[in-house]
Amino acid sequence: MAANGRWLWIVFLTAASTLFSFALACVTPFAALAALAALSLPRRDMLALIGIAWLANQIVGYLWLGYPLTFDSVAWGVMLGVAALLAALAADLTVRRLAERSLIVTVAAAFLAAAAANQAALLAATLVLPASDEAFSLLVVLEVAWTNALALAGLLALHQVASAIGITARSPSRTQPLRAN
């Protein structure tokens, strides 16, 4: 994929994540975004995408959705960024380790690694940041997982459209990740 195509792909994914922020009251499915980014972008671009998507999420939250400018709110915002970056790194490591596996296995494992890293980082933050008792209840965790799974399906469909119009590279085969290493 040419540099222009990679940046256009990053813009598309950032726009999609921003729409998620508006539609889901500032919830960005970072695990899904991290998994797709790990599958379709070089590491540097993957990390740039996650950072840009996080920044867009914060702008939507504070400027449009009226999130309070308090220490706790800003600290949780920063922690969301850290958790998203950790999710991306976990997905990237998984993609690299499973490069010889089928695409379905690689996608599923990258998604699960990203989701686990994201949730673990956010749970760890509750040791120092205030959180409600319900924030990590089974129901909430399952709802977040379901939202991310649906988002991943949508992002994979977006990848297919983007590859059909030449913005991203097509997967070379069923056993290769969506990107070149």
Work out the pLDDT band at 1, boundaries 50, 70, 90. Answer: low
More confident residue, 168 or 29: 29
Work out the pLDDT band at 138, boundaries 50, 70, 90. Answer: very high
Under the phi-then-psi rule, with left for phi > 0, alpha for psi from -120 to 50, and beta for the rest, what region is 66?
A: left
Q: What is the pLDDT of residue 170?
A: 53
Compute the average pLDDT of residues 12-34: 83
- pLDDT of residue 181 exceeding 50, the answer is no
- pLDDT of residue 172 exceeding 50, the answer is no
Q: What is the pLDDT of residue 124?
A: 96
Taking the CB of residue 159, how many other CB atoms lie within 10 A of it? Answer: 22
Taking the CB of residue 144, how many other CB atoms lie within 10 A of it? Answer: 19
- Confidence (pTM): 0.88
Q: How far is residue 53's CA from residue 19's CA, in Å, rounded to a whole number? A: 11
Compute the average pLDDT of residues 132-151: 91
User: What average pLDDT does the structure give for the chain?
Assistant: 88
Over the stretch 92-129, which tens digit does the pLDDT of each residue have? 999 999 988 999 999 999 999 999 999 999 999 999 99
Show me where the domains of the chain are located.
3-164
Over the stretch 54-93, which tens digit does the pLDDT of each residue have? 999 999 899 988 999 999 999 999 999 999 999 999 999 9
Q: How far is residue 122's CA from residue 105's CA, in Å, rounded to a whole number? A: 26
Using alpha carbons, select from 40, 48, 47 the residue that is nearest to residue 167. Answer: 40
Q: What is the pLDDT of residue 174?
A: 32
